[in-house]
Amino acid sequence: MSKFPADIYTEQEASPDTLANLGPLRRLAGTWESAAGIDINPKPEGPQRREYSERIDLQPIDAQSNGPQLFYGLRYHTHILASDEDATFHDQTGYWLWEPATGLVMQTLSIPRGQVAIAAGRATADATELVLTAQRGQTEYGICSTSFLEYAFRTESYRIEVVFNPDRSWSYVLDTVLRIPGREEPFLHRDRNTLVKVAEPKPNPLALLRGKAAAR
């Protein structure tokens, strides 16, 4: 029996206020910064440890529907600089999405070196920790890369663990397992950081529009 309803067309009624319906993602909303990031990446001579600073902006979007499937979410942009250079070390965009009906949490990500992924996990609305994963070769929650990345730095899996801290900061550990030519063992590429809020989120467009209308 399918886990999905027979009616795949009828949409749910969505709230105009995304911030009030983000479940565990509400704690991510806003703009965050940190200069305490650590990256472990592969080099010919072995693993390299680099420190980095990060700014991530997560802003609410209007509710999104796949027929009866309803998501509330955040659009994000991550910008990272290595501590020893001015050029962008890493740039990433995507969405964090929450399905209240099932507890599904998703992260979609796009990296401007020719890689995209969808990672997924489950959580309760008041969760203090999120774990999302994606696997190469999966057609649902998978990873897609350019031909060069498939050859030289093939990403086998992606895992992100987010912890919401008592002081209202949040931390993440991000693991990508790589296959690299000439290496027998897979390489564990790890990034970790703890971020603090520097700005509150703006209301999503529909909530902002209705707020302006009510104020007239």
Q: What is the pLDDT along the chain (216 residues), one digit of tens a residue?
A: 578 889 999 999 999 999 999 999 999 999 999 999 999 999 998 899 999 999 999 999 999 999 999 999 999 999 999 988 888 999 999 999 999 999 999 999 999 999 999 999 999 999 999 999 999 999 999 999 999 999 999 999 999 999 999 999 999 999 999 999 999 999 999 999 999 999 999 999 999 998 877 776
Q: What's residue 189's pLDDT?
A: 97
Q: What's residue 42's pLDDT?
A: 93
Q: What's residue 216's pLDDT?
A: 64
The Cβ-side half-sphere exposure at 49, using a 13 Å CA radius, reads: 3
Model pTM score: 0.95
Place of tokens 């509330």: 72
Q: What's residue 3's pLDDT?
A: 83
Nearest to 25 by CA among 129, 134, 140, 176: 129
Q: Do 74 and 22 contact (CB within 8 A), yes or no? A: yes
Q: What's residue 100's pLDDT?
A: 97
Quick one: which H or E segment has residue 96?
strand 88-99
Nearest to 206 by CA among 48, 20, 61: 61
Nearest to 49 by CA among 196, 194, 188, 195: 188
Q: What's residue 87's pLDDT?
A: 85
Q: What's residue 83's pLDDT?
A: 86
Q: What's residue 155's pLDDT?
A: 98
